[in-house]
A and B are shown apart, each in its own frame.
Chain A
Amino acid sequence: MSADSSKVSKFKQHCNQIFQDDAGGKSSLVALERLVEQDMANTYKIPVSPILPGNSSTSKDKQSQLRGLWHQLTQHLVDLRYISEQEFLEYQGRKKQILEQREFLIPIIKGVNKYLWQETAPDIRELLNTYDPGPYLTQFWVEQHLASIAEAISKYTSFDGSLAPPDDYEIGEDSCYGRSLAFRMRVIFAMDEALDDADIFDRSMIKYTISLDNILKLGSNPAPNLREEEIEDATISAEFWAQICDLDELFEAFFAAVPEKIQDKAYAITYKFQKQGDQFQASDYELIYLDRPAINNSGNSPKWTVGRINRAERLKAGIYANIACRLLQLKLWQTSFYLGAIDGDWGKMSHEAVLDAHRLELSLWEKGNKEHVRKEKFQQYSKRTVKRSVFHKDKKGIIAIDLEDMHQILQNYVSTVEENGEAGENEAKIIDKLRSEAEVSEERLDKAILTEKSLDKCYDAASESPKRRVSYVSMKNKSFFRGLVRGIGKLVSWIIGAFKKVLGLIFSFAKAIIDRIRKGFQLFAKGFRYLSHLLLGRPIVTPRINPNGSSLPMFTRFQLDFDAINYIPEDATERELKAHGKTLDMMRKSMIYFIDVVLFVIKMIGRLTQPGGWVWLGITIFKWLFRRIEELFQLVPQHQWSEDPVA
């Protein structure tokens, strides 16, 4: 990392010069620009916008850093059926070559194209309006905007409440929402092959939402008491949308909706299993209940034993066990303990995910680490409660999972409950904790996270398990990093290289940190480029729709005093004029933000006192940027720019 530490020194040096010296300021700005656009873009894997000249992210070695983003995007595309399962499998098999052999990406780019034209989110519309990709989407264009696209599409497959109900959704429409609804019904409620086959949600599937509503008593029945001929008039209510996008709401609904005879009783999911080496086979799962209260007089859950499991009553309505297992699988996936398909098929991966989560929680109690324990939902959150949440006898091949307790334990890691604190606070805390308490050097932390090398094994495993799904933590989810402090021991072991195998938890941590750093620096780099182009007098260029040999594109060039010259080619079309006008408009609207960002970041750079520290800097920038955007636009940012006038 000596090269990186030298970059830090150079960065500081140029920033200080800009502050201190008029003459040196401009030359420092040129050098700083190079550091931001090339060195930092490489370090933080920022796909830099092509609208301004000076983009250097097109060489092959730099493109290869985009692999992770391509994988994330492809996973969302197949979940939403923008690409077929077959195309996904082919991609998985060839993903080592996709960046060199572009033809392998053709089906993926077609899927991206379809998604982009269905996306109504303002940031993506603005992206398409401003940087018109032309009639044929290219790999180059997609890669320039990969981080924004992957982030935008992720909300349609997340269950963390980040997808807002649509303003105007019509059942049967082929849209992002129609595909998202079909995906959600497949994941939670695939009781029928027809549902499994559906790419978009149509009127023939309303009966499933009605059934789900009836089972979970969601109270948002889209077609209460409708006769067959009235199904045409049914709509999906905003309440139903909100519930089906929020896993914790679904869990709450499930606990409230189980049959009365087991309400307040101790109940659990159980199954028998056989394990021999790598072979694992589980029998059908069941929901069982005891004639004992869920919470005993001491405030603990009752203890499960083999005898009690065998003697317990079986809930005959198998649908509850099925939905329970799907919700639990989803929660284990969301918390990165499970990396398989959410299909209600309870196999080895699901089984081990439960045991992993249980073991981790128990180890925290054994170490006496009770910090950050969320107690409010437990009558008594003690080691005994944690221990009793999973009863497990390997030799006898039997397990009982207390659903409510397990859900609460997993809530400690990721929850959709509104957290206090600002975006980035928890990320910054865990980085600080890793730096100070865990005695991990800046250099080591940077190396572990930014190089992503130790995550390679995860990508390798993916080609062997094509159904594997990675959970990506939404930018809006503030609880993930708070919960992650619980697994800090594993993170430290990973950073110091003690872990050979990358666990889901660590993978998610690294991905989430990198995503935030990338997001922060992407915004910063964009702002910096506009500002530095202004200060250096470089033109703001809008590429021509049909490039014509050596003829120059439309540009506006500002001088330091904002005197401006516009050049418009004599054969410019109205569409090009409009596109350039939008570019200027976006630049104006974002000006305050840009300047604030650059000034802030330059000051932050000055606080780097030792080699390394890029991760800390990235998270700090992310934290500050999101707070600043919220202040500027008075809303939680879901996209980079807003149509609202700057206050």
Chain B
Amino acid sequence: MSFVKDLVTLDVVTVTGSMKITVKDKDKRTDGDQENMPDSIIDFEELFTKINGTATTRGDLSIVAATRINLDKDTYNFVANDLGDVGKGLVELHFKSVDMASKSRAEIVARLMPNWGRKKK
């Protein structure tokens, strides 16, 4: 699988704010018609772009914490300093997902690579 190329770094970002499902998408989603479901109710590519650049300009999302782990295990953490009362819970959840992501990735690579990474000759 091609995702092996992306395994050099591990990035985990935690955001908070309010995101709404558009009326159109919501209507489609609740009618139970799987065939006509929208591809995605959230445009994740767009979401990432906003985080990297202009998310705060719309004022609807802000970054709680971000972590980058390099292949050599060098780790960079960013934690926002204005998190309020529930901040501790948010940060805990962030680091839980970092832990989950790194362990899961190690396991999945170890197990899937011998089978799924093999090319046809």
Known contacts A59-B32, A566-B15; is A585 also within 8 Å of B100 by CB? yes
Residues of B within 8 A of A168 (CB): none
Do A551 and B18 have beta carbons less than 8 Å apart? yes
Interface string of B98-121 (1 = CB under 8 A from A): 111111110110011001100010
Residue of B nearest to A54 (CB): B34
* A18 touches which of B15, B34, B116 (Cβ 8 Å): B116
Give the shortest distance, in Å, between A56 (CB) and chain B (any CB). 6
* A551 touches which of B1, B14, B19 (Cβ 8 Å): B19
B74 interface residue per 8 A CB criterion:
no
Known contacts A558-B101, A560-B3, A565-B44; is A552 also within 8 Å of B12 by CB? no
Residue of B nearest to A21 (CB): B120
Do A557 and B16 have beta carbons less than 8 Å apart? no
- The answer for the CA separation of A566 and B41 in the assembled complex, in Å, is 16
B97 interface residue per 8 A CB criterion:
yes
Residues of B within 8 A of A570 (CB): 16-18
* B100 touches which of A539, A550, A565, A584 (Cβ 8 Å): A584
A634 interface residue per 8 A CB criterion:
no
Do A550 and B105 have beta carbons less than 8 Å apart? no
Residues of B within 8 A of A591 (CB): 103-104, 107-108
Known contacts A560-B3, A562-B101; is A568 also within 8 Å of B107 by CB? no
Do A564 and B1 have beta carbons less than 8 Å apart? no
Residue of A nearest to B20 (CB): A550
By the criterion of a CB under 8 Å from any partner CB, how many residues of chain B are at the interface?
Answer: 53
* B93 touches which of A569, A580, A587, A592 (Cβ 8 Å): A580
Residues of A within 8 A of B100 (CB): 564, 584-585, 587-588
Do A568 and B20 have beta carbons less than 8 Å apart? no
- The answer for the CA separation of A561 and B14 in the assembled complex, in Å, is 17
Residues of B within 8 A of A577 (CB): 86, 89-90, 92-93
- The answer for the CA separation of A58 and B33 in the assembled complex, in Å, is 12
By the criterion of a CB under 8 Å from any partner CB, how many residues of chain A are at the interface?
Answer: 49
A496 interface residue per 8 A CB criterion:
no
Give the shortest distance, in Å, between A14 (CB) and chain B (any CB). 14
Residue of A nearest to B25 (CB): A550
Do A588 and B90 have beta carbons less than 8 Å apart? no
A20 interface residue per 8 A CB criterion:
yes
Residues of A within 8 A of B14 (CB): 565-568
Do A562 and B97 have beta carbons less than 8 Å apart? no
A556 interface residue per 8 A CB criterion:
yes
Q: Which of B92, B101, B112 has the most CB of A within 10 A?
A: B101
Residue of A nearest to B66 (CB): A565
- The answer for the CA separation of A552 and B7 in the assembled complex, in Å, is 29
A563 interface residue per 8 A CB criterion:
yes
A574 interface residue per 8 A CB criterion:
yes
Do B97 and A566 have beta carbons less than 8 Å apart? yes
- The answer for the CA separation of A571 and B34 in the assembled complex, in Å, is 30
Which residues of B pack against A, CB within 8 Å? 1-3, 6-7, 9-23, 26, 32, 34, 41-42, 44, 47-48, 51, 64, 86, 89-90, 92-94, 96-105, 107-108, 111-112, 115-116, 120
- By Cβ-Cβ distance, the 7 closest A-B pairs, closest first, are A561-B6, A560-B3, A562-B105, A566-B14, A577-B89, A588-B100, A563-B11
Q: A21-B120, A567-B19 are in contact. List 4 more A-B contacts (CB 8 A).
A: A556-B97, A559-B3, A567-B14, A574-B86
What are 25 A-B contacts with C-beta separation under 8 Å? A19-B116, A58-B32, A550-B26, A551-B18, A552-B21, A552-B41, A552-B42, A558-B101, A558-B104, A561-B3, A561-B105, A562-B104, A563-B11, A564-B11, A564-B98, A566-B97, A567-B19, A568-B14, A569-B19, A571-B18, A584-B100, A591-B104, A591-B108, A592-B107, A592-B111
